[in-house]
């Protein structure tokens, strides 16, 4: 780690002559990170996918960073220890930051159970560029849904480090949006986020 720090301190940031604002102009809208957090099975991927579809239909450049998918590639060497979950969040946020710099609306859907890690992620972005969406759902309901059969395996002890069962989930205290999926449909959830985003993305005349 120490060596790493010394190496990076010798690296100078090279300023691109095309800015984020230039790229946003090209895309015709602002870019930002919409960060979905919540228990496994709460509905993060489902809602993020549906929102992605609507934004795409609307002509926005949008990309979904799905936590499970990233674990097949950039995060494939990470486990589910607290340390590795922290790194999982850090990398996802850093990748998301590149997308935002590229002028894209980026959606990240991952449990991200620790508040401090989410706060670190937020710090990488400008205040108006980070939208935390808490996909709220009781453990009981998530366990009932169990779309991937993971809760069952966690209860059987086949999965040792499972959020909500053997590891904590720290609820967001001040998320920009809270979606309670025990009472809201996927469609209603998407509409709620879209209405929040309305004047935040499509500012063609202002970018």
Contacts of 176 (CB under 8 A, 6+ apart): 131, 132, 133, 196
44 binds ligand ADP (CB under 6 A): yes
- What backbone phi and psi angles, to 5 degrees, belong to 140? -60, -45
161: DSSP letter:
S
Signed CA dihedral, 121, 123, 125, 131: sign only: positive
Binding segment for ligand ADP (CB under 6 A), chosen from 9-17, 84-92, 159-167, 178-186, is: 178-186
The smaller minimum CB distance to ligand ADP, of residues 102 and 167, is found at 167
The smaller minimum CB distance to ligand ADP, of residues 31 and 42, is found at 42
187 binds ligand ADP (CB under 6 A): no
Instruction: Please give the residue whose beta carbon sits closest to ligand ADP in the complex.
Output: 43
Binding segment for ligand ADP (CB under 6 A), chosen from 19-27, 179-187, 190-198, 199-207, is: 179-187
Shortest Cβ distance from residue 68 to ligand ADP (Å)?
Answer: 8
Q: What is the distance, to the nearest Å, from the Cα of residue 116 to the centroid of all Cα atoms in its chain?
A: 14
Number of residues that bind ligand ADP (CB under 6 A): 18
Distance between the two ends of the chain, CA-based, in angstroms?
40
* Residue of the chain from 34, 89, 177, 184 that contacts ligand ADP (CB under 6 A): 184
Shortest Cβ distance from residue 174 to ligand ADP (Å)?
Answer: 20
Interface mask toward ligand ADP for 116-145; x: CB under 6 A: -------------------x---------x
Question: What is the rounded CA–CA span in Å between residue 71 and residue 132?
Answer: 21
Catalytic one among 45, 112, 166, 189? 112
What does the H/E/C string look like for 72-87? CCCCCCCCCCHHHHHH
- Active-site residue, 195 included: no
Question: What is the rounded CA–CA span in Å between residue 1 and residue 132?
Answer: 30
The smaller minimum CB distance to ligand ADP, of residues 130 and 151, is found at 151
- The answer to whether residues 149 and 85 touch, using CB atoms and an 8 Å cutoff, is no
DSSP, collapsed to helix, strand or coil, labels residue 107 as: strand
Among all residues, which ones are annotated catalytic? 112
- Contact positions vs ligand ADP (CB under 6 A): 38, 40-47, 109, 135, 145, 147, 181, 184-186, 189
């Amino acid at each position: 780690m120490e060596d790493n720090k010394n190496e990076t301190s010798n690296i100078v940031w090279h300023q691109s002559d095309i800015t984020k604002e230039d790229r946003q102009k090209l895309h015709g809208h602002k870019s930002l990170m919409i960060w979905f957090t919540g228990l496994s099975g709460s509905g993060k991927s489902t809602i993020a996918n549906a929102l992605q579809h609507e934004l795409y239909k609307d002509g926005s450049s949008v990309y979904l960073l799905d936590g499970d998918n990233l674990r097949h590639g950039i995060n494939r060497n990470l486990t589910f220890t607290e340390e590795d979950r922290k790194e999982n969040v850090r990398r996802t946020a850093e990748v998301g930051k590149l997308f935002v710099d590229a002028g894209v609306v980026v959606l990240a859907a991952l449990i991200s159970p620790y508040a401090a890690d989410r706060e670190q992620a937020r710090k990488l972005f400008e205040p108006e560029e980070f939208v935390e969406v808490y996909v709220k759902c009781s453990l009981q309901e998530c366990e009932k849904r169990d779309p991937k059969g993971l809760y069952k395996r966690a209860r059987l002890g086949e999965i040792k480090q499972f959020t909500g069962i053997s590891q904590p989930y720290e609820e967001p205290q001040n998320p920009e949006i809270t979606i309670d999926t025990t009472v809201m449909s996927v469609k209603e959830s998407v509409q709620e986020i879209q209405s929040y985003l309305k004047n935040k993305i499509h500012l063609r005349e202002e970018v």
